[in-house]
Chains A and B, each alone.
Chain A
Amino acid sequence: MIDLLKECAYGGCSAKVDPSTLQSLLAGLDLPSDDRLMVGLSSSDDAGVYRLDDTTALIFTTDFFPPMVSDPFTFGRIAAANALSDVYAMGGHATMALNLMHYPSARLPLDGLKEIVEGGLSAIREAGALLVGGHTIDDERVQYGLAVVGQVAPDRVVTNGSARPGDRLVLTKPLGVGTMIAAHRLGMAPDFSYECTIEMMCRLNAKAAEAMQACRVTAATDVTGFGLIGHGYEMALASDVELLIDVHRLPVIKGSLELLDDGCIPGAVFRNIKYAGASLVNSAPLPYMHLCADPQTSGGLLMAVAPEKCTELIDRLHDGGDPYAGVIGEVRPANIPCIRLFA
């Protein structure tokens, strides 16, 4: 029996390099430009988007990380769902994927590698995409993910830079994933909540992306390693707005607030709060702020929707299998872009 959790101290999106460090490192790069590039590095969006012609734009993205669960198949499924999510966050659908794999083949049975790939394939198949190849490296640590190509009509690209004052903020999956994973390692996670967490991470954001397109949503991002605060901050910055969030309306994995209040706070929480810096204005109790900074693996989509479309969007999200999707706040005009939490 392979237990991938024994393999690493930090798994999933918690293992990402500090976004502040990364940003300052990449700031000096001289990037080639092209008129056909619709979304590039500058807006910290979820994927690159490149216009092929008037009807089609290409979405291109990758994500991979070390395990955050014990079971190889489940890990593969979650890693693939997480990578595919970037395509959904841009409003597109996935067409092709490549496997990216690190595996210690001398130390762990090769069955594990196969199960990871099978888990990934189950997500790729559900997405209606093709697995067209991959790259496997013998390495001391297990890591897996995908490079994904997707498509979207150029006039229907959903970015993190088009949230408008007056829009309602909608979040599709409950927060608390990082906390539950940390608690599970310490034997503190309630069984039911942990199972819900796994189920949530395995879910694709495909239906949510369809709902988003049906309601003509123009602004969204997926909430992953940098938490609601980090990805919300990027949206506020790219859209030049304030995001106002009512913490009591947040969908929450049961037990995660209590765990945070007991000090079970993943390290990435502190990193994410630092990333937002002075752009985070908090008047909510501390456990809520920590929840908003909790690193999500394969988290939900954060959308900004025009008020008149809000009810239809929520209905479609519920019907599509995201029962916890709800309004969590609104977009406001801002002198300085920020994310504001209140209770």
Chain B
Amino acid sequence: MAITVDTRGKQCPMPLIMFKKALKDNPDEHAFLILTDNDTACSNLLDFIEQNGFDAARHEEDGYIKIEVNAGVHHKSSLMFESKGNAELIGPQIIAVQLRSNVMGHGNDELGAKLMGAFLGTLKELDRLPTHIVCYNGGVQLAADNSPVLDKLKELEELGVSIIVCGTCVSFYGLDERIAVGKISNMYVIADILSKAMTTVTP
């Protein structure tokens, strides 16, 4: 028995809302029957059904239109959507990389420096670039004019990644006037970015 969704008398987007609710309420059903008496709603419903990969058959009845829907194998996947980035009230989703020291990992610093170079070189190859790179404590040395990874950070900056360098740390390491990439900023900005980040990556 098909689930019937009677949207007659309803204007867009109400018929779509009712159909989507029926889909969500009946995740194990494949067959749905939508009734509509509105041409625009009908056209939008048919588009929506096609976009979801469902099959549809349209029948003219007396004074209304009947749409037979077979949601089939696509039904479950159409219900999988979860929007990310709810940490922020509004705005782009933040993916932050925090550079806490000039090396990657603990153990041998010579190896750690090499790893850091490799890590920053690989970032741009990933499917999703980070939105921010935050450098603090020893990490600020990576943004200095003599940094072995300066070119890599500059390249990431050109790709649109915001590089934030902790001002207090810059002064502590005696690197005032020597920061060659990114923007020197304060702890408020850094805390704000890290607290709103959907994902934080720490090499």
By a beta-carbon cutoff of 8 Å, the part of chain A in contact with chain B is: 9, 168, 174, 182, 186, 192-193, 196, 246, 248-254, 257-258, 261-267, 270, 273-274, 285-287, 289, 307-308, 310-311, 314-315, 323-324, 326-328
Contact = CB atoms under 8 A, between A and B. Distances in A.
B146 interface: no
Contacts of A270: 43-44, 47-48
Interface of B: 11-14, 16-21, 40, 43-44, 47-48, 51-52, 78, 80-81, 83-86, 88-93, 128, 131, 157-160, 162, 183
Given A246-B128, A248-B84, A254 B158 contact: no
B89 A286 contact: no
A249 B158 contact: no
B131 A249 contact: yes
Nearest to B91: A324
B90 A252 contact: yes
18 contacts: A246-B128, A248-B84, A251-B90, A252-B91, A252-B92, A254-B86, A254-B89, A254-B90, A263-B20, A265-B44, A266-B12, A267-B40, A285-B80, A310-B157, A310-B158, A311-B157, A314-B160, A327-B159
B158 A307 contact: yes
Which of the listed residues A168, A250, A251, A267 has the most CB atoms from chain B within 10 Å of its own CB?
A267
Given A250-B92, A261-B81, A286-B51, A327 B13 contact: no
Given A248-B128, A265-B44, A270-B44, A315 B92 contact: no
B9 to A, nearest CB: 14
Contacts of A174: 90-91
Given A253-B90, A254-B89, A270-B47, 17 more contacts: A174-B90, A186-B13, A186-B17, A193-B90, A248-B84, A248-B93, A251-B92, A254-B88, A257-B81, A263-B16, A265-B44, A287-B83, A310-B159, A314-B162, A315-B183, A326-B91, A326-B160
Q: Which 3 A-B pairs have the closest CB atoms?
A: A263-B20, A327-B160, A257-B83
Contacts, number: 108
B148 to A, nearest CB: 21
Given A257-B83, A286-B81, A264 B17 contact: yes
Contacts of B20: 261-263
Contacts of B90: 174, 193, 196, 251-254, 324
B44 A267 contact: yes
Nearest to A285: B81
A31 to B, nearest CB: 32
A273 B13 CA distance: 16
Contacts of B48: 263, 265, 270
Nearest to A251: B92
Contact of B160 (A182, A186, A192, A310): A310
Contacts of A328: 92
A257 B73 CA distance: 24
Nearest to A307: B158
Given A168-B159, A314-B160, A266 B92 contact: no
Contacts of B159: 168, 307, 310, 327
